[in-house]
Amino acid sequence: MMRCFACGRHHLFFVQQTFRCYSVQIQTRSIHSKLKDGAKGGISEVARILLIDEDNPSRQELAEQLRSEGFAVACTDDRRLAAQLIERLQVDLIVLDVTTSQWNGWQLARGLRQQAELPMLLLGHGGDPTIVVKGFQLGAEDYLAKPVHAEELIVRVRALLKRHRMPNVIRIQLGDLMIDKATHEVRVREQRLFLPLKEFQLLFMLASNPNRILSRAQLIEHVWGAQYEGGERTVDVHVKRLRARLGAITASIRFLSVRGVGYRLEVEEPSALGDA
């Protein structure tokens, strides 16, 4: 008997058994098979993916392709249930079709983004750049135009998981600067800041690599996603805002611009400031 990661109850599992739980179809394998497959593509543990789309042959095909690559996949066409499953399944990544006729996909994407900071890949119509931009503005990390090819989906899913797991820490302490990823809190000495999502993600990325130069392209890919088409100028705009916010309360945090390359974050230790 093994505990179901959907409902918390115990079920008897067989290799390749399909069961239905909370209206979610989950294809299961043996634990050893999952762990072995989960190591593919640099993912060291089984990643749990929630695929939100209408129940149709295309969805089932995508789910099976992802499962064949070692991912644990849950599917649902219930937007209300989706929000519950994110927490219950401890989902690592969301794949959401925003073109479904059953609900407003954009509204659901916005709500899921407010609920959890998880990588989200949107599926939708292609050919209109404004639609793609809308997805990124809602906080999605990637957008894939339909019809979706399974091979491309798998590549993008792996890239998103790898990028999302890169800073494998929850809290960063650099001098007087503390950044808590779990609560989205930024604290400088006793002063607390709650930054907009993209500014927080940008600060967290830079603070995860102190004194290291990160190119604008690297920052774009990590914070906005590889398919973002807004241009590298957006990095400069967000860094300028971070400078203004943090510079108003401390002089120990510096965002240094490396011309033609990108940025690096410097944080002075309190002792260094006292000796100056």
pLDDT digits (tens, 9 = 90+) for 165-203: 654 457 888 888 899 887 888 999 889 988 999 999 999
- Residue 166's identity, in one-letter code, is M
Taking the C-alpha atoms of residue 222 and residue 141, their distance in angstroms, rounded to an integer, is 8
pLDDT digits (tens, 9 = 90+) for 146-155: 888 888 999 9
Is it the case that residue 28 has pLDDT exceeding 70? no
271: confidence class by pLDDT, cuts 50, 70, 90: low
Contact 193, 240 (CB under 8 A): no
pLDDT, position 132: 82
Name the token pair of 49.
């993916």
Domain range annotation of the chain:
2-165, 171-275
Region 19-44: mean pLDDT is: 37
Is it the case that residue 99 has pLDDT exceeding 80? yes
pLDDT, position 212: 85
- Residue 4's identity, in one-letter code, is C
Answer with the residue of higher pLDDT: 254 or 132. 254
Say which CATH class 2-165 falls into: alpha beta
Lowest-confidence region among 83-87, 113-117, 120-124, 190-194? 113-117
What is the arrangement of strands in the sheet containing 171-174, beginning at the earlier edge strand?
A: 171-174, 177-180, 185-188, 191-193
pLDDT, position 257: 92
Answer with the residue of higher pLDDT: 136 or 219. 219
Q: Which fold has domain 171-275?
A: Arc Repressor Mutant, subunit A (1.10.10)
Strand-pairing partners, residue 46, are: none
Residues 6+ apart with CB under 8 A from 137: none
